[in-house]
Structure 1
Amino acid sequence: MRKFVRQSTVFACLAAGLGAAGMAQATNGYFSHGYGTTSKGLAGAGVALSQDSLAAATNPAGMVTLGDRIDFGVALFSPRREYSVGEFPGAPDPAQDFALEPGSYKSGSEYFLIPHFGWNRMLDDRSSIGISIYGNGGMNTDYPAHSNPIRNAGGECPSGTFCAGKTGVDLMQLFIAPTYARKINDTASWGVTPIIAYQRFEAKGLRSFADMSRDSGSLSNEGHDDSWGYGLRLGIQGEVSPGVRLGAAYQTKMYMGKFDDYSGLFAEKGGFDIPANMTVGLAWDVTPTSTLFFDIQHIWYSDVKSIGNKFDRQGLGMCAQGFDSSGCLGESGGSGFGWRDMTIYKLGYQWTTSPDWTWRLGYSYGRQPIPSSEVLFNILAPAVIEHHLTFGFTRNIGPSNEFNFAAMYAPESKVSGDNAMFEGQKIELKMHQFEVEASYAWKF
């Protein structure tokens, strides 16, 4: 009883702390490259072999193989975001064109602390319950209210990326994932995770698009709004031959409440569901002390209209002139970020050098989701990262504790294209990232 009370108290405190923390991991779109420190050391691979109690975020079937344990950790994440704008190709027409001020501009807010928590308990030798708490994010930018000397000649553009002051967005998503997992036999298992999701959003500096919105009072600078929603993750995992394990997991679309304060920005009157995703992979013991991991993950960003709708200059123009409201920001067909789906390939290698030390390396690649035609709005969310290089280790501390560490470097990726509101003016988005994460596990 005392142990249960102690664990419950720890869980309550950590859940409160996680709920208050901002998430900002724009690595694969706005999904993290991995969940749990051991998986992050392998570039996010691990759907076929689970190693900590954040496993439910990747494959809930693996929870039953972990035993009784608690994992708590924190990451220091640093995304470096920047956009550059080319010179005017000609004199813009103020009635039709929205030229941006030439130059290069960096986003602030470069460091984020991101905690996570996991708990797993065996009910008997064939089943377990657990809970994992983790986050997504990444549509997070903070551009200063820089001057616009050329466009301000007529007094219509005092400052900021879009002539409306300090510009940026802030998105945080928190997932609470209780899990039930059960062994099918001695070599295979299944798991189910009903997910409760919370998200919070804020946008600044977009009031210049007011006449292109269905509701200009719910477009920008409305502070933080939040919503709750739900979804489901299902997974299977098993050894198909000695030393070869396969795994697969599918997460449904997360059906989220609307951001009412931003119903004039996001399609479907503030809709912002979280896209479905699926991962399949293998873990192969190439030697008695080493394992090769390979996962393939697919994320259906295009199925969420506020994310997948393309920028529609004609529809916005018709809206501004009062001819047709169907293309207004906030309507079902209104412009979004234009993201395409992502497929990510994750390769990891793990080896043990002694009973106390395990080492990990990883690499992942996924074509970034932003087409060159969609760079204008994606100044707000320049999620262009494609490559991840990772390193990690586990240090066992006696029979009941372990320390885990992972580091990630995402080299600079970029995309460039025309300003959709002023053809011929080039915009380039680029980003690179660093992350270090440490966690501690208690086995009981």
Structure 2
Amino acid sequence: MYKWSKIIPVAVAFSFGNAWATDGYFSHGYSVRSQGVGGVGIALPQDALAAAANPAGMGKVGSRVDAGVTWFRPVREAEIKGNTFGADGTYKGNDSQNFFIPELGYNTQYSEDVTLGVSVYGNGGMNTDYKKGIPLFNSNGRRTGVDLAQVFVAPTVTWKVHENHTLGVSLNLAYQRFEAKGLQNFSNASSSSANLTNNGHDDSYGAGVHIGWLGEITDAVTLGATYQSRTYMSRFDKYKGLFAEQGDFDIPSTYGVGVAVKVTPALTLAGDFQRINYSEVDAVGNASLSNLSNGLGNDNGAGFNWQDAKVYKIGALYQYSPALILRAGYNHVDQPIRAGDTLFNILAPGVVKDHVSIGATWVLSPQSEVSFAYTHAFENTVRGQNSIPAGFGGGDANVRMYQDALGVAYTWKL
């Protein structure tokens, strides 16, 4: 489909970090500075990663380079109860647990009214690694899990269409990589059992569009709005017997609005609302158990039955001194995983709902700054309700997760 020779090396280099503090499997914030305010960014651009939240924000950050890395540690666990096949027990999916996620942004003020830039960032990603396997997924105690990484390279242009209003457009060039292990017990339900599991990593490429507006309504109030189209991806051919529509795994569309209010010269409060349309992608949104009879990999095959997610973010930014900016934030996402679908979601337990974060930026010189952010996602459990079918011994699967992340970034103003 879209195999760009120049994007592949960059995408692969940035894909080694394949899990993230998550709103479902989208990131809660796409730069260290944004993470520090709970992921807020639609009306509060802070760096050259601003295009990830709102392309129009690149029109307000000036000429600069931002680069950083975040250490991320998710803890995921599954519990099976009431199973007549003897699968009861607690299973820890943490054999791969420490991830390092880079970020990179560049922006230049091309003219008084136009900026050009590029942001490179990862989506939330998804990783589970059950070293001793899940008995209902394979019968030999083999390693079970999935590994999904999604990377965007977003060339962005902004136009200052009015003294107080900026429009922005990004072309989202996307790369994703996926692997599944230990799903042999689903072979009879697969439309292509040879392309169900244990086929190593497969690659997928695609593109979409992201548009945004940023308006300074008064000296103290800024509003923003953004829409990101569905990103149409090439199929995972090695896993066309797993994902609905013969391995199709598009990235869902999103939209959102934001506000930033300068309460005092030193204090800014901001908030975002975002909706992630998980259900529009069949591999994610199709029902799992009720669609299992349609066959994994078929057009109406089983998915993970994720609901669309509403995300609420609030943050505060405080200019403590000319050399120090302090940040804090909170992020809440509606639960995308349904209680009747926890069996499949042992592989993808993106169940955390509440994040808190703190951060800071130190000004080292007129051209250079260093920032950090710490985020904790509180433990949350989705308890299954008739989530294991009789053909797998019945009972329920409970899935739980919590997360910690610590990031650092460096800024060079051009």
User: Are the structure 2 counterparts of residues 37 and 355 from structure 1 closer, same or farther at C-alpha, using a change threshold of 3 Å?
Assistant: same
TM-superposition CA deviations, 1:139-158 (whole Å, max 9, x none)? 2100022586xx9xxxx964
Q: Could you tell me how far 1:182 is from its partner in structure 2?
A: 1.2
Asked if the contact 1:14/1:117 (under 8 Å) is kept, the reply is no
Alignment partner, residue 435 of structure 1: 405
Alignment partner, residue 348 of structure 2: 381
Q: Distance in 2 between matches of 1:247 and 1:18?
A: 32
**Corresponding residue to 2:327 among 319, 343, 360:** 360
Query: Does residue 1:159 correspond to 2:159, yes or no?
Result: no
Alignment partner, residue 371 of structure 2: 404
1:226-375 equivalences under 5 Å are 226-313=203-290, 315-317=291-293, 327-375=294-342
**Corresponding residue to 1:141 among 112, 115, 128:** 128
* Letter aligned with residue 333 of structure 2: G
Uncovered stretches (5+) of structure 1, i.e. residues with no partner = 1-10, 93-98, 318-326
**SS of corresponding position for 2:62:** coil
* Letter aligned with residue 312 of structure 2: Y
Asked if the contact 2:17/2:102 (under 8 Å) is kept, the reply is no
1:113-128 equivalences under 5 Å are 113-128=100-115
Relative to the length of structure 2, the TM-score reads 0.94
User: Are the structure 2 counterparts of residues 412 and 286 from structure 1 closer, same or farther at C-alpha, using a change threshold of 3 Å?
Assistant: same
Alignment partner, residue 390 of structure 1: 357
Relative to the length of structure 1, the TM-score reads 0.88
Query: Does residue 1:82 correspond to 2:77, yes or no?
Result: yes
Which segments of structure 1 move beyond 6 Å, counting only runs of 4 or more?
11-14
TM-superposition CA deviations, 1:374-396 (whole Å, max 9, x none)? 10000000000100000011111
**Corresponding residue to 2:89 among 92, 97, 103:** 103
1:14-53 equivalences under 5 Å are 15=10, 18-19=13-14, 21-25=16-20, 27-53=22-48
Q: Could you tell me how far 1:136 is from its partner in structure 2?
A: 1.5
* Letter aligned with residue 256 of structure 2: T
Q: Give identity over the alignment, percent.
A: 44
Asked if the contact 2:138/2:183 (under 8 Å) is kept, the reply is no
**SS of corresponding position for 1:378:** helix
Alignment partner, residue 193 of structure 1: 170
Q: Distance in 2 between matches of 1:79 and 1:31?
A: 14
Alignment RMSD:
2.0
Alignment partner, residue 130 of structure 1: 117
Q: Could you tell me how far 1:427 is from its partner in structure 2?
A: 1.3
Q: Could you tell me how far 1:34 is from its partner in structure 2?
A: 0.5
Q: Distance in 2 between matches of 1:158 and 1:20?
A: 31
Alignment partner, residue 420 of structure 1: 388
Q: Distance in 1 between matches of 2:86 and 2:354?
A: 29
**SS of corresponding position for 1:365:** strand
Q: Distance in 2 between matches of 1:49 and 1:120?
A: 16
**SS of corresponding position for 1:40:** helix
Alignment partner, residue 200 of structure 2: 223
Q: Could you tell me how far 1:26 is from its partner in structure 2?
A: 5.1
**SS of corresponding position for 1:306:** helix
Alignment partner, residue 96 of structure 1: none
* Letter aligned with residue 103 of structure 1: G
* Letter aligned with residue 159 of structure 1: N
Q: Distance in 2 between matches of 1:255 and 1:71?
A: 28
Uncovered stretches (5+) of structure 2, i.e. residues with no partner = 1-5
TM-superposition CA deviations, 1:323-352 (whole Å, max 9, x none)? xxxx01001111100100000100101111
Asked if the contact 2:139/2:185 (under 8 Å) is kept, the reply is no
Q: Could you tell me how far 1:241 is from its partner in structure 2?
A: 1.7
Q: Could you tell me how far 1:16 is from its partner in structure 2?
A: 6.6
Q: Distance in 2 between matches of 1:223 and 1:14?
A: 19
* Letter aligned with residue 64 of structure 1: G
Q: Distance in 2 between matches of 1:16 and 1:205?
A: 27
Which structure is larger by alpha-carbon Rg, 1 or 2? 1
Q: Distance in 1 between matches of 2:134 and 2:53?
A: 45
Query: Does residue 1:66 correspond to 2:61, yes or no?
Result: yes
Q: Could you tell me how far 1:23 is from its partner in structure 2?
A: 2.1
User: Are the structure 2 counterparts of residues 420 and 287 from structure 1 closer, same or farther at C-alpha, using a change threshold of 3 Å?
Assistant: same
**SS of corresponding position for 1:124:** coil
